[in-house]
Amino acid sequence: MGVLDSKVPQGPLAEKWVNHKNKINLVNPANKRNIDIIIVGTGLAGGSAAATLAELGYNVKTFCYQDSPRRAHSIAAQGGINAAKNYQGDGDSDYRLFYDTVKGGDYRARESNVYRLAEVSGNIIDQCVAQGVPFAREYGGLLDNRSFGGVLVSRTFYAKGQTGQQLLLGCYSAMNRQINRGKIQSYTRHEMLDVVLVGGKARGIIARNLVTGEIERHSAHAVVIASGGYGNVFFLSTNAMGSNVTAAWKVHKKGAFFANPCFTQIHPTCIPVSGEHQSKLTLMSESLRNDGRIWVPKKLEDAKAIREGRLKPTQLAEEDRDYYLERRYPAFGNLVPRDVASRAAKERCDAGFGVNKTGEAVYLDFSSAFMRYGREAVATQKIENASEEEIRKLGKAVVEAKYGNLFQMYEKIVDENPYETPMKIYPAVHYTMGGLWVDYNLQTTVPGLYAAGEANFSDHGANRLGASALMQGLADGYFVLPYTMGDYLADDIRTGKISTDLPEFEEAEKNIRKQLESFMNTKGTKSVDYFHKRLGKIMWDKVGMSRNATGLQEAISEIKALREEFWREVRVPGIMEGMNPELEKAGRVADFLELGELFAKDALHREESCGGHFREEFQTEEGEALRDDENFMYVAAWEYTGEPSNAVLHKENLVYENIEVKTRSYK
114 alpha carbon, distance to own chain's centre = 16
Instruction: State how far the alpha carbon of 96 is from the alpha carbons of 8, 19, 90, 201, 332, in Å.
Output: 21, 22, 11, 39, 17
Residue-wise DSSP of 245-284: SHHHHHHHHTT--EE-TT-EEEEEEEPPP--TT-S---B-
Question: Considering just the CA atoms, what is the radius of gyration of the chain in Å?
Answer: 25
Kindly state the DSSP code that residue 9 receives in the 8-state scheme. P
How many residues are there in the chain? Answer: 667
Ramachandran category for residue 574: left, alpha or beta (phi over 0 → left; psi -120 to 50 → alpha)? left
Q: What is the spatial distance between Cα 643 and Cα 475, in angstroms, rounded to a whole number?
A: 34
Q: Is 45 exposed, middle or buried (0-12, 13-18, 19+ CB in 10 A)?
A: buried
Pick the closest to residue 468 from 301, 599, 337 (CA basis). Answer: 337
Q: Which long-range contacts (CB under 8 A, 24 or more apart) does 322-325 make?
A: 322/295, 322/296, 322/297, 322/298, 322/348, 322/353, 323/293, 323/294, 323/295, 324/294, 324/295, 324/296, 324/348, 325/294
The secondary structure element, H or E, covering residue 429 is: strand 423-432
3-state secondary structure at position 217: strand
CA atoms within 13 A of residue 458's CA, in its CB half-sphere: 29
Residue-wise DSSP of 359-398: S--EEEE-HHHHHHHHHHHHHHTT--S--HHHHHHHHHHH
> What single letter denotes the amino acid at residue 442?
L
Q: 153, 90 in Cβ contact below 8 A?
A: yes
Given the residues 146, 293, 338, 615, the one annotated as active site? 338
* Cα angle 196, 200, 203; round to 5: 35
Q: What is the spatial distance between Cα 220 and Cα 223, in angstroms, rounded to a whole number?
A: 7
CA atoms within 13 A of residue 413's CA, in its CB half-sphere: 21
Pick the closest to residue 244 from 61, 75, 432 (CA basis). Answer: 432
3-state secondary structure at position 546: coil
Which residues make beta-bridge pairs with 610? 613
Instruction: State how far the alpha carbon of 89 is from the alpha carbons of 145, 151, 216, 376, 453, in Å.
Output: 11, 15, 54, 22, 29
Edge-first strand listing for the sheet containing 59-63 = 184-187, 59-63, 36-40, 222-225, 449-451
Q: 606, 615 in Cβ contact below 8 A?
A: yes
Question: How many Cβ atoms from other residues are within 10 Å of residue 290's Cβ?
Answer: 19
Q: What is the spatial distance between Cα 411 and Cα 560, in angstroms, rounded to a whole number?
A: 41
Q: What is the spatial distance between Cα 40 and Cα 574, in angstroms, rounded to a whole number?
A: 27
The secondary structure element, H or E, covering residue 652 is: strand 648-653
Q: What is the spatial distance between Cα 589 and Cα 529, in angstroms, rounded to a whole number?
A: 8
- 615 catalytic per annotation: no
Q: Looking at the annotation, which residues are catalytic?
A: 338
